[in-house]
Amino acid sequence: MNYTQQYRDQQEAKQLQNRISSFIKDLKVGTLLHGSGIRKLRGVSPLTLFTVIFSLPFQGVNFAQGIVRNPDLGFKKDAAYDFLKNPRHNWRKFMLNLVTVVARFFDVLTSEEREKVLIIDDSTYDRSRSKMVELLAWIHDHNIGRNLKGFRLLTLGWSDGNSFLPLDFVLCSSTKPDKRLQGITKELDKRSCGYKRRIEALTKSTEHLEAMVKRAINFGLRADYVLMDSWFCFPKILAALGKHLPVICMAKDMPTILYRHQGQWVRLGRLYSLLRKKPGKAKILTSVVVETKEGQQVKIVFVRNRNKKRQWLGIVSTDTKLPDEEIVRIYGKRWDIEVFFKMMKHYLNLERETQLRDYDGMIAHITIAMSRYIFLAVEQRSHDDPRTLGSLFFACSDEMKDLSIFEALQRILSMAMDKIRSAGIVTEDVALALVDSIMNIAIDLLQTGQRLFRHNNAITGS
């Protein structure tokens, strides 16, 4: 028996538990839970239940192994299920408050000139093996090109170019009754959070975007732009979100979406053919300011795409004064949410940790899974950024480098490839390589000593 390896594993487990305990204590998770209506009714405290469920993937166990069949816990499985399934728990408020605290700490480490962005995207929440899950529906997965049973996870995130934090989400069912395999199975007070989130689930996903952005702004999160994929690039959405923040998104060549150029309404492909392009092998081909059907002025930047037959990509910005290179560079930050979805599904057990049938339970579990990602983001930042080591290093160290135009172009091309192939072999490898890199950093963190930052001091000092 290798006693050295056994001792090393024990030390790593202790260090990991210390880091989780420090994260929960420093961010005052217990206070945030209480302020979100997640309070003790009987038996074990919500903070204890949260901590145990939060720690499961870091211990290499799922819900059944870590809670249902674990005799060493001080509570039974029913306590965990009741905690997750309570419709009065305001998990949205909890996550927004948690991210607000972390974002303020990150703000200390970045200059005022650097752009902070909100990123909107959706992904499938696969429940293909389920039958009796509340609000389960048939949804279309654009990546694999077929329908599956599950939900669409519409997510809003925040990024400063180095760290990504999930802010808010809506677990969307289908708006069409014939596509839903199950309806609402609970009798709920219409004032409860659970009832309101079920109504959200039955509403068209694009109708949530403005409300999500407004909530983030009202919670005090500073952002300069909203970034979106081509699935949301419609004139009505651009106009609605543009009232709050400038929007940058990928354009889609659709016959129903027209732009006014030199007195005529043309679709995106026709618009590109009318413009004069830069000669040679320029990466940015051309740009133009046009008008949408909502009467809004937008700037469209066309970039070269060598990865498929269609040789260009269009990026729309509601800020017409932004230089072309800046529009491309800022939009490249949208890649962060793609990495987030990969890590959530492959490493943080978003879909496969527990098979809850209750809609409130799924909302609670998704929130806790996203809290794990926030924990890793804080750990990665404190490990990579020397400015977290104290005032001396903060004064002497340069800010972490922002995304370059070249890196942004690489990300945009990778995102474009991912959207058009049914089983993206190359893009999948690239995405997984990025996720593996982040996870390697997280694993390396767990082998170091006690964490070296206390964000409350930094926030107070700011």
Indicate whether 388 pLDDT > 50.
Answer: no
Give me the domain span that covers residue 251: 22-38+86-461
State how far the Cα of 87 lies from the Cα of 79, in Å rounded to an integer: 15
- Compute the average pLDDT of residues 454-458: 40
Average pLDDT for the chain: 84
Q: What is the pLDDT of residue 249?
A: 96
How far is it between the farthest Cα atoms of the chain?
A: 80
Q: What is the pLDDT of residue 17?
A: 85
Q: What is the pLDDT of residue 35?
A: 96
* 352, part of any domain: yes
- Compute the average pLDDT of residues 338-354: 90
The C-alpha angle with vertex 419 and arms to 413 and 420, in degrees rounded to 5, equals 95
State how far the Cα of 228 lies from the Cα of 238, in Å rounded to an integer: 10
Return the minimum-mean-pLDDT range out of 234-243, 314-323, 349-358.
349-358
- Compute the average pLDDT of residues 391-396: 37
State how far the Cα of 7 lies from the Cα of 10, in Å rounded to an integer: 5
Residue of 132, 228, 141, 224 whose CA lies nearest to 181: 132
Q: What is the pLDDT of residue 445?
A: 46
Indicate whether 396 pLDDT > 90.
Answer: no
Q: Among all chains, which residue has been given the structure tokens 């390697």?
A: 440
- Compute the average pLDDT of residues 64-93: 93
3-state secondary structure the chain: CCHHHHHHHHHHHHHHHHHHHHHHHHCCHHHHHHHCCCCCCCCCCHHHHHHHHHHCHHHCCCHHHHHHCCCCCCCCHHHHHHHHHCCCCCHHHHHHHHHHHHHHHHHHHCCCCCCCEEEEEEEEEECCCCCCCCCCEEEEECCCCEEEEEEEEEEEEEECCCCEEEEEEEEECCCCHHHECCCCCCCCCCCCHHHHHHHHHCCCHHHHHHHHHHHHHHCCCCCCEEEECHHHCCHHHHHHHHCCCCEEEECCCCCCCCEEECCEEECHHHHHHHCCCCCCCCCEEEEEEEECCCCCEEEEEEEECCCCCCCEEEEEECCCCCCHHHHHHHHHHHHHHHHHHHHHHHCCCCCCCCCCCCHHHHHHHHHHHHHHHHHHHHHHHHHHCHHHHCHHHHHHCCCCCCCCHHHHHHHHHHHHHHHHCCCCHHHHHHHHHHHHHHHHHHHHHCCCCCCCCCHHHHHHHC
pLDDT-above-90 percentage for the chain: 61
* 141, part of any domain: yes
Supply 171's token pair.
């677990």
pLDDT band at residue 451 under the 50/70/90 scheme: very low
Q: Letter for the amino acid at 198? A: R
Q: How many domains does one find in the chain? A: 1
pLDDT band at residue 417 under the 50/70/90 scheme: low
C-alpha to C-alpha distances, 284 to 122, 313, 322, 331, nearest whole angstrom: 28, 10, 14, 14
* 344, part of any domain: yes
pLDDT band at residue 206 under the 50/70/90 scheme: very high
* 2, part of any domain: no
Q: What is the pLDDT of residue 310?
A: 57
Return the minimum-mean-pLDDT range out of 122-136, 270-284, 378-392.
378-392
* 235, part of any domain: yes
Burial class (CB in 10 A: 0-12, 13-18, 19+), 47: middle
* 306, part of any domain: yes
* 379, part of any domain: yes
* 57, part of any domain: no
pLDDT-above-70 percentage for the chain: 79
Q: What is the pLDDT of residue 402?
A: 63
Return the minimum-mean-pLDDT range out of 90-104, 264-278, 370-384.
370-384
- Write the pLDDT tens digit of every residue in 138-177: 998 877 778 899 999 999 999 988 899 999 999 999 999 9
